[in-house]
């Protein structure tokens, strides 16, 4: 049973449906791993084993009574986790800040409700940086989430707790959120898969902070798992048509056709010509491109002079508008803020508050840039690119030397930010390794509403590369009977 919790979610569901394992047994195995590894990873903000075991018994009873449990509840008995900024009834939803200490959600977010309706069991809520404004998960409530591949390195942010839990086998998958790379960068750092969908494809109601104003375009809830097949399954369940609460428009699903996907080339962007990437990052992008070429896709280099303009507009909304939205909430609480959030504030406060004219101009320009970028991307089935310039960084680092040049924190993550401004789908697949053995992911992206096409191409890449368990997830452990025992951690 030692490797059970690092299996793909679809494999676990097959075992549950065939009754080769019970929901209670699977829940127990996850509890063992959480108790063994979470003390050094700090992936979870809230975890209740008794509530999980109770739900697992109910799932087993439901399976025994149902004539078609896989159809009525396709995730029945699968243990998943939820980022702690997404309301999950009965669990802490503190968004990583002591200003919300002890806040417990009374109702489920729409996305969480959909996963429960599909039969998923909630393990708990996972750690995130304060107010989600960081690429590193660290806060004054629960500390810094460590990377399962190296405890000295970050698991990323803002969905870092979610990524660490999934990578280490402490969760079969879950839901994060992304306004600037927050499900993609942690997936890249920890060697798992994720999707930032087109905003509106997955309901964002119940996310703290709300995805409104500029963040209705930048922000999206997204599935995270060990394989793209798992991510696709979760997306299918989460993205049932609904009337968007911000636009009132019902957003349809799109279809994919293998012949149509191969009728257009794959664009390959190894860097943007402005900021360097590590040699291993470049090799990972080339390897993914070569694998798709072997599968019959045309591959050609991609360059676009609008990308930097898109990034500057993202900066206006995420950094400058983000500060303006948060300043009223933190007024007179400076002494209670985490160093990670202070770094965001220090950067944001170097610029003046936006004027109404600046905001209107940025909004107008964004529409123009999105239109032009979408038109250019429509010539490609997908774009392959780095996720960021570097693999996982050590806790607290904020700049690096890459190819002899200094690369700053926010600039290193630019490859994800473009697609937030565009409001476009982008997935991450683990492909390579750094010289230190850390995972390196590759981003597969397209223009808005091409989510299914992105997933289809990312699944092909995943088949050729894909998730590998970090060594700590496979270390031996004491196990007596079926009881949950005190276990030694590898900290």
> Which three-class secondary structure state does DSSP give residue 439?
strand
d(CA 293, CA 289): 6
DSSP E strand boundaries for 299-350: 299-301
Helix, strand, coil content of the chain in percent (nearest 5): 45, 15, 40
d(CA 24, CA 193): 26
Whether 182 is a known active-site residue: answer: yes
d(CA 349, CA 409): 16
DSSP string, 347-377: HHTTSPPPPHHHHHHHHHHHHHHHHHHHHHH
Whether 85 is a known active-site residue: answer: no
Among 143, 49, 30, residue whose Cα is nearest residue 91: 49
β-bridge mates for residue 299, sequence order: 266
Q: What does the block give as tokens for 422?
A: 């565009």
Spell out a b/e string for 413-445, using b for 16 or more CB atoms within 10 Å of the CB, else e. bbbbbbbbbbbbbbbbbbbbbbeeebbbbbbbb
For the CA atoms of the chain, what is the radius of gyration?
21
Per the residue annotation, which of 84, 150, 159, 182 is the catalytic one?
182
Per the residue annotation, which of 23, 81, 158, 239 is the catalytic one?
158
Whether 196 is a known active-site residue: answer: no
> Which three-class secondary structure state does DSSP give residue 431?
strand
Per the residue annotation, which of 22, 23, 81, 83 is the catalytic one?
83
Instruction: Give the number of other Cβ atoms within 10 Å of residue 392's Cβ.
Output: 29
Residues with a known catalytic role: 83, 158, 182
């Amino acid at each position: 049973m030692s490797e059970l919790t690092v299996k793909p979610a679809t494999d676990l569901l097959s075992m549950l449906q065939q009754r080769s394992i019970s929901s209670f047994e699977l829940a127990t195995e996850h509890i063992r791993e959480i108790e063994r590894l979470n003390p050094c990873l700090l992936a979870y903000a809230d975890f209740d084993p008794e509530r999980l075991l109770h739900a697992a018994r109910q799932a087993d009873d439901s399976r025994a009574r149902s004539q078609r449990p896989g159809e009525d509840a396709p995730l029945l008995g699968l243990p998943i986790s939820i980022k702690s900024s997404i309301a999950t009834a009965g669990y802490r939803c503190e968004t990583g800040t002591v200003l919300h200490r002890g806040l417990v959600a009374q109702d489920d977010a729409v996305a969480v409700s959909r996963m429960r309706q599909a039969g998923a069991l909630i393990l708990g809520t996972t750690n995130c940086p304060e107010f989600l404004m960081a690429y590193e998960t660290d806060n004054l409530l629960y500390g810094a989430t460590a990377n399962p591949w190296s405890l000295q390195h970050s698991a990323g942010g803002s969905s870092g707790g979610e990524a660490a839990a999934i990578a280490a086998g402490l969760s079969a998958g879950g839901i994060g959120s992304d306004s600037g790379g927050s499900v993609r960068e942690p997936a890249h750092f920890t060697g798992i898969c994720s999707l930032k969908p087109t905003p509106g494809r997955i309901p964002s109601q119940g996310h703290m902070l709300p995805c409104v104003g500029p963040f209705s375009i930048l922000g999206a809830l997204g599935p995270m798992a060990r394989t793209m097949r798992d991510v696709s399954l979760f997306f299918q369940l989460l993205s049932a048509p609904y009337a968007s609460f911000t636009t009132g428009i019902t957003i349809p699903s799109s279809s994919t056709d293998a012949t149509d996907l191969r009728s257009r080339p794959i664009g390959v962007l190894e860097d943007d010509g402005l900021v360097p990437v590590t040699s291993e990052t470049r090799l990972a992008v080339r390897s993914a491109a070569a694998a798709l070429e072997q599968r019959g896709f045309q591959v050609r280099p991609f360059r676009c002079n609008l990308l930097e303009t898109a990034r500057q507009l993202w900066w206006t909304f995420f950094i400058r508008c983000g500060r303006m939205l948060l300043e009223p909430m933190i007024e007179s609480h400076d002494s209670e803020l985490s160093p990670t959030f202070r770094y965001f504030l220090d950067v944001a406060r170097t610029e003046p508050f936006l004027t109404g004219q600046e905001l209107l101009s940025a909004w107008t320009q964004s529409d123009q840039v999105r239109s032009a970028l979408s038109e250019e991307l429509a010539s490609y089935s997908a774009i392959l690119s780095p996720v960021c310039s570097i693999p996982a960084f050590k806790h607290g680092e904020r700049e690096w030397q890459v190819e002899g040049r200094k690369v700053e924190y926010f600039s290193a993550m630019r490859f994800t930010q473009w697609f937030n401004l565009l409001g476009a789908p982008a997935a991450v697949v683990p492909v390579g390794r750094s010289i230190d053995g850390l995972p390196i992911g590759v981003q597969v992206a397209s223009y808005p509403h091409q989510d299914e096409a992105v997933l289809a191409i990312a699944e092909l890449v995943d088949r050729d590369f894909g998730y590998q368990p970090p060594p700590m997830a496979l270390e031996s452990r004491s196990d007596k009977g079926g009881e949950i025992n005190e276990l030694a951690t590898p900290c």
